[in-house]
Amino acid sequence: MTIRLLLCSVVTSIALSVPAQTTCQRTKHCSAQGQAKGGPQDLRSDSIDLLVTRVHLNLLDAPNDLIHAMCVLRLVPKVPGVTQLRLDLIDLTVGSVLDESNQPLGFSHANGVLRVDLAQPAGPADTMDITVFYDGEPAVDPSNFGGFYLENTYIYNLGVAFDAQSHSYGRAWFPCFDNFVERCAFSFHVTTRGGRKVWCNGAELGVVSLGGDTTLTHWSIDEPIPSYLASVAVANYAVVHQEFPSIGGTNIPVDLVALPGDTTQMKNSFLHLQDAFNRFETCFGAYSWNRIGYCLASRGAMEHPTNITYPDFIADGTLQYEATMAHELAHQWFGDLVTCDRAEEMYINEGFAEYLSYLFLEGVYGPDRYRSTVRANHYEMLRRCHWEDGGAVFRPR
Ligand SMILES: [Zn+2]
């Protein structure tokens, strides 16, 4: 099976099972259409290594569609003579950039590119912290999938954008190398109010009261992840907590996070989550992250590791969309642990995640369900792929 067919099968399965544009697969379909190629390879990571990204996010101005933020990037050059740092950050306005001595650094910010002039040429012995202060209304993708959403009920990001070039979309809320290859640890320091709970990647390290109903919540993930997998979700959430025994010998905490009135439906829709977990561990090895987490929001789904963003309207109490639940869990192995280098290689993420969702169906409902799902996919692929791709394209080999 070709890459092209794999990608088409992914999209077709979505058309069969869930409302249009509800899952991360469709995002990557765009890259298969030729309308959103990955462009020239981003080579920044060859000369600079981002070690830690610390995002401080003040959401008190969210009702005015504004964020106020500070991001501290710990980085080290891989080669001598580095004089400038080129970061991606769109729409938001940069107020200042400081070095680790709190001395201002020269910068320019235009067309989504933030160029920071280092005080002196730096090399591999010069690990440094660069702090960027910025504000504004964060971007959302015109496709309705991707960016940073400031809504009354949910405040959250989707780290991939359907239409944007590149699809990786960390740059909607923090300065980064917005490519698929740069990985670093992250911490998140989020200020909010009104009893809202903050969920991010990794582990919650504490919640501090700042007076009244304002809180500062600290999350951290030590495992290095690319910018598109960084995640925050904020709402008046409640959580259903479970634990799955892992073949690795530990119990993996599971957090199903939803508005209080939605937790029962979510739990019912996730009835077979443990079956998916067990099947994937049996086939592909022990789960590698510190927890499993799904946060409901108004759109998705997106496989942010340990903090999957999942559309509330498909956690409806039925099992109709459970293949999507399994697909996103599968990404914790394929996509989140191993990530494509470029958008053109998205089959590594999406092809395998979709295949694993079929293994899930086989495990729960038997081999006939696997076969019928694959056959339906093949049929739809042959019938619709050339439409979805905007016409048949034949390239000489
Ligand atoms: Zn996917």
Question: Which CATH number belongs to the domain containing residue 184 in this structure?
Answer: 2.60.40.1730
Distance 230 CA to ligand 1 centre (A): 16
> How many angstroms does the Cα of residue 180 sit away from the middle of ligand 1?
15
Q: How far is the CA of 380 from the centre of ligand 1 (A)?
A: 19
**301, exposed or middle or buried, with CB in 10 Å at 0-12, 13-18, 19+?**
buried
Does residue 217 sit within a domain? yes
In a domain, 302, yes or no: yes
The gap between the terminal CA atoms of the chain, to the nearest Å, is 16
Q: Distance, CA 181 to ligand 1 centroid (Å)?
A: 18
Q: What confidence score (pLDDT) does residue 145 get?
A: 96
- In the chain, the amino acid numbered 246 is S
Strands 197-200, 107-110: parallel, antiparallel or unpaired by DSSP? unpaired
CB 373 within 8 A of CB 361: yes
Ligand 1 centroid from CA 47, angstroms? 30
pLDDT at 75 > cutoff 90: yes
State in Å: Cα 69 to ligand 1 middle: 29
pLDDT in tens, 210-254: 999 999 999 999 999 999 999 999 999 999 999 999 999 999 999
- Kindly state whether residue 143 falls inside one of the protein's structural domains: yes
Q: Cα(11) to centroid of ligand 1, in Å?
A: 10
**Does 264 reside within a domain?**
yes
Q: 3-state DSSP helix/strand/coil percent for the chain, to nearest 5?
A: 30, 35, 35
Q: What distance in angstroms lies between residue 346's CA and the mean position of ligand 1's atoms?
A: 9
- Does the pLDDT of residue 147 top 80, yes or no? yes
Q: Are residues 31 and 134 in the same domain?
A: no
pLDDT digits (tens, 9 = 90+) for 5-15: 333 333 333 33
Q: Calculate mean pLDDT across residues 285-303.
A: 97
* 206 shares a domain with 63: yes
Beta strands in the chain (DSSP E): 48-58, 67-77, 82-88, 93-98, 107-110, 113-122, 128-136, 147-150, 155-158, 184-193, 197-200, 203-209, 214-225, 232-235, 238-245, 251-258, 292-297, 308-311
Tokens for 343, please give them: 């958008």
> 93-135: per-residue pLDDT in tens?
999 999 999 999 999 999 999 999 999 999 999 999 999 999 9
Alpha carbon of 129 to ligand 1 centroid (Å): 34
Ligand 1 center from residue 352 Cα (angstroms) = 9
Quick one: 338 and 281 in the same domain? yes
Q: Are residues 275 and 155 in the same domain?
A: no
Statement to judge: residues 123 and 65 lie in one domain: yes
Distance 163 CA to ligand 1 centre (A): 16
Residue 219 exposure: Cα atoms within 13 Å on the Cβ side: 23
How many whole angstroms from 162 Cα to the centroid of ligand 1?
12
The reply to whether 114 and 178 lie within a common domain is: yes
What's residue 85's pLDDT? 97
Compute the distance from residue 20 Cα to the ligand 1 centre, in Å. Answer: 14
The pairing of strands 184-193 and 48-58 is parallel
Give the pair of three-digit tokens for residue 73. 């990037």
Q: How far is the CA of 309 from the centre of ligand 1 (A)?
A: 12
CA 310 to centroid of ligand 1, rounded, Å: 12
CATH no. for residue 316? 1.10.390.10
Q: How many domains does the chain have?
A: 2
CA of 206 to the centre of ligand 1 (A): 31
CA of 10 to the centre of ligand 1 (A): 8
* Single pTM value for the model: 0.90
How far apart are alpha carbons 338 and 53 in whole angstroms? 20
Nearest to 163 by CA among 142, 177, 178: 142
Asked if the model's pLDDT at residue 163 lies above 60, the reply is: yes
Ligand 1 centre to CA of 306 (Å) is 15
pLDDT band at 170 (very low <50, low <70, confident <90, very high): very high
How many C-beta atoms lie closer than 10 Å to residue 201's C-beta? 26
pLDDT at residue 1 greater than cutoff 80: no
- pLDDT the model gives residue 211: 97
For residue 69, the cross-strand partners are: 57, 134
Whole domain around residue 183: which residue ranges? 49-235
- Same domain, yes or no, for 55 and 75? yes
Distance 328 CA to ligand 1 centre (A): 6
What's the average model confidence in pLDDT over 158-164? Answer: 94
Q: How far is the CA of 194 from the centre of ligand 1 (A)?
A: 33
Do 219 and 241 reside in the same domain of the chain?
Answer: no
pLDDT of residue 344: 86
- Choose the weakest-confidence range: 29-38, 188-197, 257-266: 29-38
pLDDT number for residue 381: 86
Q: Are residues 66 and 193 in the same domain?
A: yes
Taking the centre of ligand 1 as the mean of its atom positions, its distance from the CA of residue 25, in whole angstroms, is: 4
Number of helices (H) and strands (E), helices first, in the chain?
Answer: 8, 18
Among candidate residues 230, 67, 189, the one with its CA nearest the CA of residue 139: 67
From 189, 206, 235, the end of a domain falls on 235
Using one digit for the tens of pLDDT, what is the confidence trace for 22-73? 444 443 443 333 333 445 568 899 999 999 999 999 999 999 999 999 999 9
227 and 246 co-located in one domain: no
**CA 60 / ligand 1 centre spacing (Å):** 32
Query: Are 171 and 190 part of one and the same domain?
Result: yes
164, 281: one domain: no
What is the average pLDDT value for the chain, to the nearest integer?
A: 90
Whole-number percent of the chain with pLDDT over 90: 82
CA of 282 to the centre of ligand 1 (A): 20
